[in-house]
Amino acid sequence: MRVVVRPGYEDRPLEGLDVDIVHGDICERESLRPAMQGVDLVIHCAGNVHIGWTGKSSSEKVNIGGTQNVATVAREMGAKLVHVSSVDALGAGLHDQPADEENIPVQNPPIPYVVTKAAAEVEVRHQIEQGLHAVIVNPGYMLGPWDWKPSSGRMMLEVIKGKPIMAPRGGTAVCDVRDVAAGIIKAAEKGRCGANYVLAGENLTYLELWRRFADLAGNIKPICRMGPLIAIGAGVVGDILTKIAGEEGGVNSAALQMSSFYHYYSSRRAEEELGYRVRPASESIADAWEWFTAHGYVANLSLQTSPVMTEA
């Protein structure tokens, strides 16, 4: 197995794994050819994630251009591709109506992350039309061990540190990174070419999720959901601070709008066609907290006091 990493990338997450590390950059097509030489399967996981209004050019370069490069070289090399997208590329559900691959009740706001992840799927389909065998998976909000960056788990850490009294109005589909990884392999083995597969999990309101986070740390739980006027006000303040500081933080109008939606999904297609299974969210949350604690993140990581809204 080969893993393509950018030059200078910290390889701590790969320590102890039986993999060959190849340096390359998905934004540089020619650097991908040596990595894909002689392989049967390519799993494209790289992406630029930021829930906000800024970062359009970098999101386009990585999420669209990078995916185009990966899919093109995979086709030229005769390799099968599993493109790891996001549920956010599809849209959102309602509290009583989860979305799936074909039925999307709510469209997400047109932030660069959402737009470019959707456009990346279009690039994959263009290559499918030219002969690429590709499957697209759309994971939900992933928790679990080995979140070195941290990525999705940053929300947990910041909620625990910040001790917010209110949670966002919406909800999210909590899934385990280990189950998603297994689902990706099953998509490679059983997935239909050109099909999307939602790899989601337990649909929880942010209030319930954040209360579970607080329980782990023995913190006071959030008492209520954030009202719409408070959310709008917080978003406006965040946007003003972005203009002043020149850098967008985790609290901005895009993040507040995204977190007001119910990112609820059904994984029925993946369950029926791939055999996808997901463990209870309580296990994923507990294992993520245990891993963060054991690796010093809880004690040592310097965190903002405002929770970051991180989707898949």
Domain range summary for the chain, segments of one domain joined by +? 2-291
Q: What's the pTM?
A: 0.93
Which pair of tokens denotes residue 31? 């650097």
Q: Could you tell me the pLDDT band of residue 16, with boundaries at 50, 70 and 90?
A: confident
The CATH classification of domain 2-291, taken from the options 3.40.630.30, 3.40.50.720, 3.30.450.20, 3.40.50.2000:
3.40.50.720
Identify the pLDDT of residue 311: 54
Residue 307 has pLDDT above 80, yes or no: no
Give the separation between CA 289 and CA 312, rounded to whole angstroms: 18
pLDDT tens figures, 262-305:
999 999 999 999 999 999 999 999 999 999 999 999 886 454 44
Segment 302-310 shows an average pLDDT of 47
pLDDT tens figures, 86-123:
999 999 999 999 999 999 999 999 999 999 999 999 99
Identify the pLDDT of residue 181: 98
Identify the pLDDT of residue 305: 41
pLDDT tens figures, 210-220:
999 999 999 99
Which phi and psi (to 5°) does residue 157 adopt?
-65, -40
Which phi and psi (to 5°) does residue 233 adopt?
-60, -45
Identify the pLDDT of residue 66: 98
10 Å CB burial of residue 272 (0-12, 13-18, 19+) is exposed
| Mode of pairing for the β-strands spanning 166-167 and 196-199 | unpaired
146: left (phi over 0), alpha (psi -120 to 50) or beta: left
Identify the pLDDT of residue 253: 93
Give the separation between CA 124 and CA 134, rounded to whole angstroms: 7
Identify the pLDDT of residue 310: 52
> Cβ distance 305 to 251 under 8 Å?
no
